[in-house]
Amino acid sequence: MSQPVRHFFIALQFFTRIPVTGRLADWVGFSPAMLRASAAHFPGVGWVVGGLTAALFYGLLILLPAQPAAPWVAAMVSTVFGVLLTGAFHEDGLADTADGLGGAMGRERALEIMKDSRIGSYGAVALVLAFLSKAALLALLAQAGGAGLAALALFAAHVSSRLMPLFIIRTLPHVGDTPTSKSKPLAESIGHAGLAAGLLWWALAMALVGWALPGAPWPQAVLGALLGLAWMWRLLRRRLQGFTGDGLGATQQVSEIGFYLGLALCLPATA
């Protein structure tokens, strides 16, 4: 039973800036096989990042003056906090994917652009729109559904959106420059056990939010995340014939926004 715990800590170290050092790092250990297995715990990382950002978001809504701008301030600060926790890992993938696929260039040129560390106009626009979309939707959820709903949505969206890239890994081949790609640990298709572990992380999170706030349109929110996944899957398959690490990050970002949007669209207009 200790092996999955080790894999979780490797995922936490790989996908966030949270340090895993000292005796803990010695106990966890490391190997390429363990790093590949850690992808199954991507949604578990969402528990940590989503839980911390949701707690900050909820706390700010309680502490800030009861003014119309308060949900926006809480949404922006919690978003910045989430970026600091992950080192903009997924946002970087979104920007690179937008730059690579934004124009009409062919597959090889798109892959070459996605490996360039510089950000282009498509990437900059994608980041601005993503940040604004997340902040606006979180603020709307807080205003229309209350602080509790918005905080739970923030937590569940982080977990759900980190489940979606596992389906990309499962169903598409890796097409990045494997020896130098940051997605090298994810280059091999995830197995049944790994996918089951990711689904378990996600199911526990959804059970928690369903228990905390029953009756909320959580299925519709998950549907929104799935539609984001479907759009990214089709885009990556059509343009690249596979996935790269940047594509996985973009999938997480699009699915997170889809989760908020699906939830917001199903809230009563008079809430």
Report the pLDDT value the prediction gives residue 269, as an integer from 0 to 100.
67
pLDDT of residue 101: 92
98's torsion region: left (phi>0), alpha (psi -120 to 50) or beta?
alpha
Range in 2-11, 18-27, 37-46, 177-186 the model is least confident about: 177-186
Confidence class for position 31, pLDDT limits 50, 70, 90: confident
Q: Which amino acid is at 20?
A: V
CB 57 within 8 A of CB 74: yes
Question: Of residues 192 and 212, which shows the higher confidence score?
Answer: 212
pLDDT given at position 28: 85
pLDDT of 49-82, one tens digit each?
999 999 999 999 999 998 999 999 999 999 999 9
pLDDT at position 24 is 86
In which band, very low, low, confident or very high, does the pLDDT at 271 lie, cut at 50, 70 and 90? very low
Q: Are 204 and 44 contacting, i.e. CB atoms less than 8 angstroms apart?
A: no
The DSSP code sequence of 235-258 is HHHHHHSSB-HHHHHHHHHHHHHH
Cα-Cα end-to-end distance for the chain: 45
Q: Which residues pair with 243 in a beta bridge?
A: 174
Handedness of CA 194, 198, 200, 201 (dihedral sign): positive
d(CA 218, CA 241): 32
The answer, yes or no, to whether residue 105 has pLDDT greater than 80, is no
State how far the alpha carbon of 268 is from the alpha carbons of 100, 141, 222, 260, 264, in Å: 39, 11, 18, 15, 9
One-letter amino acid at 108 equals E
Contact in structure between 222 and 95 (CB atoms under 8 Å): no
- Phi, psi (deg, nearest 5) at residue 196: -65, -40
Q: Is the pLDDT assigned to residue 194 strictly greater than 70?
A: yes
Given this model, what pLDDT does residue 2 score? 80
User: Is the pLDDT reported for residue 189 higher than 90?
Assistant: no
Between 52 and 189, residue with greater pLDDT: 52
Task: Answer yes or no: is pLDDT of 237 > 70.
Answer: yes
Query: What token pair was written down for 214?
Result: 């029953």
Question: What are the residue ranges of helices labelled H in 40-190?
Answer: 42-63, 70-86, 89-102, 107-114, 121-145, 147-171
For the chain, which residues make up each domain, given as ranges? 41-265
- d(CA 171, CA 134) in angstroms, rounded, equals 28
Name the residue with higher pLDDT: 48 or 269.
Answer: 48
Give the pLDDT band of residue 20 (cuts 50, 70, 90).
confident
pLDDT digits (tens, 9 = 90+) for 124-152: 999 999 999 999 999 999 999 999 999 99
